[in-house]
Amino acid sequence: MFKRKHKKHKKKVAQVVEQEAKDFEEALELLVPSTLIETLPRDQIDTLDQSKATFNNYYVEVGTQSRHRRYFTSQYIQKFGKYSNATMLDPFLIGEFGKGDTDICIHLKKLDDRATLDKLNRKIRGQESDLMMNDADSGRTMDVTEALRDTMSKRERIRQKIESNIEVSIQVLTSSNDIDDLNRYTNTMNRNVLNNDMMMGTPDGRQLKALKNMLPFTANPFIKEHCMALETTNVADLFLFGNGTLSHNGGIVLGDDHLGRPLYFDNFHKDMENYNMIIFGRSGAGKTFTTEVLTHRSAHIGLKTGIVDPKGDYRRFIKAMGCPYFDLSSPTGHRINIFDVDIEEHTDPEREGQLYVNIDEGVQGAKALIFRMIRVNEPENSSILTATARAMIDQTIRQLYTDRGITRDPNSIYDYDAAKANSEGALENGQDMNLTTPYKKMPQLSDFYEALRAKTSNKEAQTIAEVIFIYTRNGGSEVSSIFDTQSSTFNLSRAPIFGFGLSGLDEQMKKIGMFIATKWLSAKFARKNRHIPKRLIFDEAQEAMEDPETASWLENQYRTMRFFNTSMCAITQGFEVFTRVDQGLGILKNSSTKIFLKQEAIDIDSVKNSFDLSEGEAQFLLYTAEKGLGIIRIDNESSIVKVRATPKEFQLFQTDPPRKRKPNPSAS
C-alpha cells in the first residue's frame, strides 16, 4: 500500500516539474521572441491551429514557437494641413480606434540652412516661371502667387535665423494580437486622421526596417520618401510633453483631461507638500459645481467635509445628500460662540500626542473678530485700535478664560460639578446616567463688554465697550447679537458632509459670520481626530483679506492644518485681492492644489504673474475656458481639467436657473 502511494507521489512531482519547465520555456520565449517574420501580400504561413492563412497586407509578426504572437504595422505621417497645431497628434495618443495599441516615434535631423536656402531659391525661380507662363486671370495664377508668397516668407525666416529647417519622420506603429483586429484598428485610425487633414503613407516591403527604426540604437532611422522638412515652429507642436496629466492614480475622478482620459485627484497624496487648495474663477465659471463634485466624490472615500456657505449656494446640495445644514440666521436657533476653545494635540514632535487647550488660538481668533467689529462701526478719521487698545483687548480676553479656570490643562475645560449634579439627578429620578462630562460655559461677548465697562478709569475701554455693545444681547439688534451666546450642540461625528449657512444675515454680519464659522470649525472640526482626513471649505474667501488680523489668522490655518490631516479649501472670484496683502500671498504659497477656472480680464495678469502661467495658458483661461473647464496645478504638475458629473450628480448639483440649464452632465 505504501509503495503504491510513493509511486503516485513521484508521478505527481514529475508532472509539476514538467509544467514548471514548460511555463519557464514560454516565459523565456516571450522575453526573447523566437520568430520575427515580415509578411508580404499573398504570403501563407501556419496559424496557431496549423491551418494556412493568407495575408493581404504588409505586417511584421513577432512571436514564439508556442502560442504568443503579435502583429505590427507601421505608417508615416507624410502631409498635414497648411498649419500645424499642438493637438494634432492627440488622436494617436488617445488611441480609441478599437482593439489595438498605438506607439509614436518622431525622428529629427537638422538640415543645413545654406542647402535649404539654395533649394528654396530654386523653388522660387520655378514658381516665378510658372507665374509668367499662366494667364493672369486663371485660378492657377492665384494658387501659384500664394505659394510663391509662402515660399519667399519661409526663405526670409530661415535667412534671418528666425526658423531652421528640420527633417522629420513621424512614425505611427499599430499592433494587436489578432490580424483582423489590427486591420480594423488601422482602418479606423486612417479614416480619423484623414478627417483631420493628415495623409498617411506605408513603407510597403520595409515593415521590418520600420519596426527596427522604433528602437533607439538604429543607425539611420529615416526612410527618405516618408520624411518631411518642417520649420522649428512646426516641430515644436510635435513634442508630446504638453500632453501629460497628473501622476495621481488614486483618490477621486475629478473629471477628464484634455485627451478625454479620467483625471484622478488625491488631495492627500503622499508626495504633496501640503493638502490645502484654492479654487478661483469669475462668476459663473463653475466654482460651486466643481466644489460639489469634489465634495460628493470625496465623501465616498472617507473624506469628511465642512462648508462655510455665505450665500446659501450649497444648501440644496447638502440636504440632497441627507446631511445636516445649520443656518446661522437669527430665526433658526443655531448659534456659535466666538470664544469657544477646545482640546487638541500638540504638533511639536517632542510633545506629539499630548493634549492641551489651545488658549492662544482662541484668543487670536476672538481678537481678530473684535477688531473687525470695531472697524465696521468705527467713526471716520478716528483710530480706536491703538497699540494700547490692542494690548488691553488681548489681556481682557485672556482674563475671561482665567476667571473661569480655563487654562492649557485639558482637565480645566470640563465642568465636573455639573457632571456630578447631572449624575445625582439621574439617580434620584431613576433615569439613565450620562457618563460624559460637559464642558464649562465659555465666555461670551456680553462678558467681554462687562469686563470693559468695569475698567471705569480707562477711556479706551469705555469707547470700545460702546462699539461692542450693539453686538450684545442688550444692544437692541437681534441680528447683530446672534453670536453673543453659548454654542448650540452640533452633532458632526457621523456626518460626511455638513454646512453652516449665513445667507440670512446682512452684508456686514455675513462677513463677520464667515470668520466666526471658520474659526469655530477650525477648533471643533479641523483640529480634531488627526487620523481622519478632513476638508474645510469657505466660499468668498477674498472677504477675509480686508482686515489684517483675519487675514493673518487664516494664513496661519493654512500653515498649520497639515499637521491635523486637514485640507483648507478657499473659493474666490476676487483673486487680485489675495495679491494685495502678504497674508494672501502666504495662503497662495501654502496651497499645493490650485484650480484655475475662467478668469476676469482684471485678474488675469495677477494670475499669470503669480503662477508663471504661459501666455497660452492665460489666454485659455481668459477666452477659451467654458464652464467647468480650467487648469489644475498640483505643486509642479498641471493638467487641463473638464469637471464632469454623472447624470444624477448633474441634477443634484446644477446651480443655473432653469432657463439656462443644459441637458448634458457638465459643470455649470
Can you identify the CATH homologous superfamily of domain 252-335+493-668?
A: P-loop containing nucleotide triphosphate hydrolases (3.40.50.300)
By CB atoms closer than 10 A (0-12, 13-18, 19+), residue 164 is middle
Say what the pLDDT of residue 455 is.
93
Mean pLDDT value across residues 18-42: 65
| Amino acid making up residue 337 | N
**Spatial distance between the Cα atoms of 94 and 8, rounded to a whole number of angstroms:** 55
107-121, 321-335, 359-373: which range is least confident on average?
A: 321-335
Mean pLDDT value across residues 365-390: 85
Mean pLDDT value across residues 503-530: 90
Inter-residue contact 450 to 426 (CB < 8 Å): no
Say what the pLDDT of residue 47 is.
46
H/E element, 229: strand 228-231
* Domain positions in the chain: 1-29, 252-335+493-668
Helix axes 445-453 and 387-403, enclosed angle (nearest 10): 120
As a dihedral over the C-alpha atoms of residue 312, residue 632, residue 522, residue 447, rounded to 10 degrees, the angle is -60
Mean pLDDT value across residues 507-529: 90
Helix, strand or coil, per DSSP, at residue 319: helix
Say what the pLDDT of residue 381 is.
58
Inter-residue contact 511 to 372 (CB < 8 Å): yes
Could you tell me the three cell numbers for 190? 486612417
**Portion of the chain with pLDDT greater than 90, in percent:** 37
Mean pLDDT value across residues 153-168: 89
Tell me: pLDDT of 217 over 60. Answer: yes
**Spatial distance between the Cα atoms of 531 and 303, rounded to a whole number of angstroms:** 11
**Spatial distance between the Cα atoms of 630 and 642, rounded to a whole number of angstroms:** 7
Inter-residue contact 310 to 514 (CB < 8 Å): yes
Average pLDDT, the chain: 84
Count other Cβ atoms within 10 Å, centred on residue 627. 21
Mean pLDDT value across residues 39-53: 52
H/E element, 596: strand 593-596
**Spatial distance between the Cα atoms of 329 and 510, rounded to a whole number of angstroms:** 9
**pLDDT tens digits, one per residue of 417-436:** 877 776 666 556 656 555 57
Q: What are phi and psi of 308, to 5 degrees?
A: -95, 115
Tell me: pLDDT of 16 over 70. Answer: no
Say what the pLDDT of residue 51 is.
43
**Spatial distance between the Cα atoms of 172 and 214, rounded to a whole number of angstroms:** 9
Q: What are phi and psi of 554, to 5 degrees?
A: -65, -40
When pLDDT is cut at 50, 70 and 90, the band that residue 517 belongs to is very high
Count other Cβ atoms within 10 Å, centred on residue 21. 10
- Classify strands 59-63 and 69-79 as parallel, antiparallel or unpaired: antiparallel
When pLDDT is cut at 50, 70 and 90, the band that residue 246 belongs to is confident
Say what the pLDDT of residue 259 is.
79
Tell me: pLDDT of 563 over 50. Answer: yes
Say what the pLDDT of residue 648 is.
86
DSSP state of 173: E
194-203, 242-251, 480-489: which range is least confident on average?
A: 242-251
DSSP state of 659: G
When pLDDT is cut at 50, 70 and 90, the band that residue 43 belongs to is low
Question: Which of 394, 378, 380 minimizes the C-alpha distance to 463?
Answer: 378
**What is the gyration radius of the CA atoms in the chain, in angstroms?**
36
When pLDDT is cut at 50, 70 and 90, the band that residue 50 belongs to is very low
Mean pLDDT value across residues 189-212: 85
**Spatial distance between the Cα atoms of 466 and 339, rounded to a whole number of angstroms:** 20
As a dihedral over the C-alpha atoms of residue 115, residue 119, residue 124, residue 126, rounded to 10 degrees, the angle is 150
Question: Which of 181, 185, 198, 169 minimizes the C-alpha distance to 89?
Answer: 198
81-95, 166-180, 378-392, 604-618: which range is least confident on average?
A: 81-95
**Beta-bridge mates of residue 634:** 593, 637
When pLDDT is cut at 50, 70 and 90, the band that residue 506 belongs to is confident
Mean pLDDT value across residues 469-496: 88
Say what the pLDDT of residue 52 is.
47
Tell me: pLDDT of 653 over 90. Answer: no
**Spatial distance between the Cα atoms of 38 and 16, rounded to a whole number of angstroms:** 37
Say what the pLDDT of residue 258 is.
82
Distance of CA 268 to the CA centre of its chain: 12
Helix, strand or coil, per DSSP, at residue 515: helix
**Portion of the chain with pLDDT greater than 70, in percent:** 85
**Spatial distance between the Cα atoms of 19 and 174, rounded to a whole number of angstroms:** 34
**pLDDT tens digits, one per residue of 335-368:** 999 999 999 988 777 887 789 999 999 999 999 9
DSSP state of 644: B
Say what the pLDDT of residue 290 is.
94
Say what the pLDDT of residue 28 is.
56
Mean pLDDT value across residues 18-45: 63
Identify the residue with better confidence: 349 or 530: 530
H/E element, 8: helix 2-31
Identify the residue with better confidence: 87 or 636: 636
H/E element, 595: strand 593-596
Tell me: pLDDT of 587 over 50. Answer: yes
Tell me: pLDDT of 34 over 80. Answer: no
Mean pLDDT value across residues 28-52: 57
Say what the pLDDT of residue 48 is.
43
**Spatial distance between the Cα atoms of 468 and 460, rounded to a whole number of angstroms:** 12
Question: Which of 532, 539, 538, 540 minimizes the C-alpha distance to 495?
Answer: 532
Mean pLDDT value across residues 358-384: 85
Could you tell me the three cell numbers for 248? 495621481
When pLDDT is cut at 50, 70 and 90, the band that residue 21 belongs to is low
